[in-house]
């Protein structure tokens, strides 16, 4: 790669995904406040249990676009994947390296396999559960990934993809992100508070290549989804039955404001109390959101969960 990073901008879309996520791998968890404690274990378990019953057991599990392992490791720690062989795949080897290290640190054995979710490196009918979290919106062709998930699942196998942004929910969230960012920038113009700002790439020792890679952030989020389109896409891929659930309204507005501040603030400033406080607020608002489901149109909620089965026949 060139020193000034000029070649980064010439990569195709998948090259950009790989380069950006390789570069981001070591700081990704700090940016999104990902952990492997009660906070994230509860979050992962609650997403999974919205669509998968307690009694269901799986023996061969694959996560697509697994990143640093947030979903699989936290579900394993929650006891949702007991006894299963866990395979993780991602287009970014850098992410998978961190994922395997995280697994080791938390006593979860993972089989890593770099690969493109649109052309999976696994034989047909290899898994009985395929998982994904916040990856589908990065793919140029999400329908191809659903077709691949269908291919690698055994008949009767289950697909669960969570954490995908809805089109309307994302637009509304944008208002809260911009407000939080503007508020944080305004408050930290006060000289006494300036040190709270996260240092820029160059300020924190990065070079032009790092700056070019960081600039890809705005090119790697490719989609937001209409829930009905995701349902139709899964049916076309061959899944039946298919169910799409949306969640997080008020919780998401506050959640994005919190995440925007977390991504803007100098690492280490906020600490665990902030993380748990923010999570508890998010939980309280989620309860209100649950009560609003069925009253407020599903498309206004931010987070989409897809649950589908490969038919037996
Ligand atoms: C926002 S991160 C989510 C990571 C993880 N699932 C999580 O929830 O923390 C998106 C992930 O999708 C991966 N990705 C992007 N394009 C991909 C593709 N075509 N095939 C597989 N993974 C891909 C990225 O490398 C990155 O790890």
Q: Is it the case that residue 256 has pLDDT exceeding 60?
A: yes
Low-confidence winner among 44-48, 134-138, 290-294 (lowest mean pLDDT): 290-294
55: left (phi over 0), alpha (psi -120 to 50) or beta: alpha
* Candidate of 19, 33, 67 to mutate for ligand 1, largest count of ligand atoms within 8 Å of Cβ: 67
pLDDT at position 205 = 87
Residue nearest to atom 5 of ligand 1 (CA): 67
Ligand 1 nearest-atom number relative to CA 63:
6
What's the angle, vertex CA 184, arms to CA 5 and CA 208, rounded to 5? 10
Position 24 in a domain: yes
Q: Is it the case that residue 3 has pLDDT exceeding 70?
A: no
90 alpha carbon – ligand 1 mean position (Å)? 6
* Candidate of 13, 40, 65 to mutate for ligand 1, largest count of ligand atoms within 8 Å of Cβ: 65
Q: By residue range, what is the domain housing residue 36? A: 6-165+205-248+298-309
Handedness of CA 246, 248, 253, 255 (dihedral sign): negative
Mean pLDDT of the region 151-170: 97
Position 256 in a domain: no
Position 213 in a domain: yes
Return d(Cα 231, Cα 52) in angstroms, integer: 17
Per-residue pLDDT band for 313 (boundaries 50, 70, 90) equals confident
**Cα–Cα separations (whole angstroms), residue 264 to 93, 105, 187, 198:** 26, 28, 12, 5
* Candidate of 16, 17, 113 to mutate for ligand 1, largest count of ligand atoms within 8 Å of Cβ: 17
* Candidate of 68, 86, 135 to mutate for ligand 1, largest count of ligand atoms within 8 Å of Cβ: 135
Position 84 in a domain: yes
Domain holding 38: CATH number?
3.40.50.150
Q: Residues 89, 64: contact at Cβ < 8 Å?
A: yes
Mean pLDDT of the region 232-244: 98
Q: Residues 213, 5: contact at Cβ < 8 Å?
A: yes
What pLDDT digit, counting tens, does each position of 184-213 carry? 999 999 999 999 999 988 888 888 889 999
Contacts of 133 (CB under 8 A, 6+ apart): 44, 47, 63, 65, 67, 70, 71, 161, 162, 163
pLDDT at position 203 = 86
What is the H or E stretch that residue 214 is in? helix 208-214
Q: Is it the case that residue 1 has pLDDT exceeding 60?
A: no
Position 101 in a domain: yes
Per-residue pLDDT band for 267 (boundaries 50, 70, 90) equals confident
Q: Within 13 Å of residue 229, how many CA atoms lie on the same side as its CB? A: 12
Q: Is it the case that residue 241 has pLDDT exceeding 60?
A: yes
Q: Is it the case that residue 95 has pLDDT exceeding 60?
A: yes
Structure tokens at 93: 């080897």
Ligand 1 nearest-atom number relative to CA 22:
25
The mean predicted confidence, pLDDT, of the chain is: 95
| Tally of structural domains, the chain | 1
Q: Which of 8-17, 30-39, 102-111, 253-262 has the highest mean pLDDT?
A: 102-111
37 alpha carbon – ligand 1 mean position (Å)? 22
Rounded to 10 degrees, what is the CA torsion of 109, 279, 228, 176? -130
225 alpha carbon – ligand 1 mean position (Å)? 16
Position 21 in a domain: yes
* Ligand 1 proximal residues by C-beta, below 6 Å: 14, 17, 21, 65-67, 70-71, 90-92, 95, 116-118, 133-135, 138-139, 163
């Amino acid at each position: 790669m060139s020193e000034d990073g000029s070649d980064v901008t010439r990569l195709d879309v998948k090259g950009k995904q790989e380069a950006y996520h390789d570069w981001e791998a070591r700081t990704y968890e700090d940016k999104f406040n990902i952990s492997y404690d009660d906070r994230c274990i509860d979050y992962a378990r609650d997403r999974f249990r919205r669509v998968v019953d307690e009694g269901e057991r799986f023996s061969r599990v694959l996560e697509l676009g697994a990143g640093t392992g947030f979903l699989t490791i936290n579900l394993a720690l929650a006891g949702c994947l007991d006894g299963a062989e866990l395979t993780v795949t991602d287009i970014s080897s850098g992410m998978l390296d961190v994922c395997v290290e995280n697994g080791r640190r938390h006593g979860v054995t993972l089989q890593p396999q770099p690969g493109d979710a649109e052309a999976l490196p696994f034989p047909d009918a290899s898994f009985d559960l395929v998982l994904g979290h916040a990856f589908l919106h990065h793919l140029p062709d999400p329908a191809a990934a659903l077709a691949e998930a269908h291919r690698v699942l055994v008949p009767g196998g289950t697909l669960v993809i969570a954490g995908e942004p809805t089109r309307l929910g994302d637009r509304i969230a944008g208002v809260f992100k911009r407000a939080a960012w503007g508020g944080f920038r305004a408050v930290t113009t006060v000289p006494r508070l300036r040190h709270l700002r996260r240092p820029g790439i160059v300020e924190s020792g990065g070079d032009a290549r790092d700056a070019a890679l960081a600039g890809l952030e705005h090119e790697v989020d490719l989609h937001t989804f209409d829930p009905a389109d995701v349902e139709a896409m899964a049916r076309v891929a061959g899944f039946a039955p298919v169910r799409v659930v949306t969640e997080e309204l008020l919780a998401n507005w506050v959640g994005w404001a919190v995440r925007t501040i977390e991504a803007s603030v100098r690492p280490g400033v906020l600490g665990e109390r902030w993380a748990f406080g923010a999570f508890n607020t998010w939980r309280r608002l989620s309860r209100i959101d649950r009560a609003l489901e069925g009253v407020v149109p599903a498309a206004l909620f931010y987070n989409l969960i897809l649950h589908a089965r490969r038919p037996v026949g």
